[in-house]
Amino acid sequence: SGASFAESQLPSSGLLTVEADREVIKEIEEKVMQTYAHFAVLSQCTVLYMKDLHRPNQSVTFSLRGKQIRPMDLTILATQLHQMDFTKRLTVLDLSRNLITPSGVTTLMEEIVTQIPSLTELNLGENPLLSDQGVKLMIPFLGKSNIKVLNLARCGLHDRSARYFRNNGFLIKNLLHIDVSNNSIEDKGAKDLVGTLKHAHEFGTDLYISYGGNERMTAKGLRLLQSTKLELALLDTGESARG
């Protein structure tokens, strides 16, 4: 049983080299992916540099959406950003639809997000490898940044991510919008998202959380979130009226 080969089909050495060939192919693929990602970074820098020459006072959005960015590519991104004049007006960083894992979160937050005071929106949506561990590593840095809008849709998140947000309300008090839609958050996570909303309200922040598309969340969890949002809105209206 199994495949058989005539001697004439073997390499000139007369030996099969499937494993060795596989390693060579993997090495080539690695170099191609790295080259593609680095080219994407340099291309975006060039485009924004040219735009900046004509509109030097406008805010800047840096997008690497769907460019196969991996943790190892974030270092070159940090290096390039810190060399560009437009970075001081960078307000939006779009890294959606990439391959960022928890191992890249520290580099991203420490070398980029917390080092750019003008940056207020971070889009990490559709990074399916990010996971709950990525959120856990990210949260301490959010308190040192000026991020107000955080997109974590379709990032492979579960209830633990919601708990991390609830337990670290003081670190995310600057956030105005968190998108955790289309993940795997269940009713237990819904309760923690409610806690996150209430903590934000105590800090005087009008936080909005997008949570649609979490198919494991039942109607009970959805009603809890909706009623809490309404309750906080009514509280704000009452406080405004008294004021």
10-residue mean pLDDT series, the chain (243 residues): 56 60 70 85 96 90 96 96 96 98 97 98 98 98 97 98 95 95 98 95 93 96 93 71 45
Give the pLDDT confidence score for residue 8 in this predicted structure.
57
Length in residues, the chain: 243
List, for residues 161-183, the tens digit of each pLDDT value. 999 999 998 899 999 999 999 99
In three state form, how does the secondary structure of 136-175 look? HHHHHHHCCCCCCEEECCCCCCCHHHHHHHHHCHHHCCCC
19 phi and psi, to 5 degrees?
A: -65, -45
Torsion from C-alpha of 197, 201, 203, 208, nearest 10 degrees: 50
Q: Which single residue is written with the structure tokens 């735009």? A: 51
Angle, CA 80 vertex, CA 114 and CA 52 arms, to 5°: 95
Name the packing angle between helices 187-202 and 219-242 (round to 10°).
10
**What pTM value is reported for the model?**
0.86
Give the pLDDT confidence score for residue 33 in this predicted structure.
77
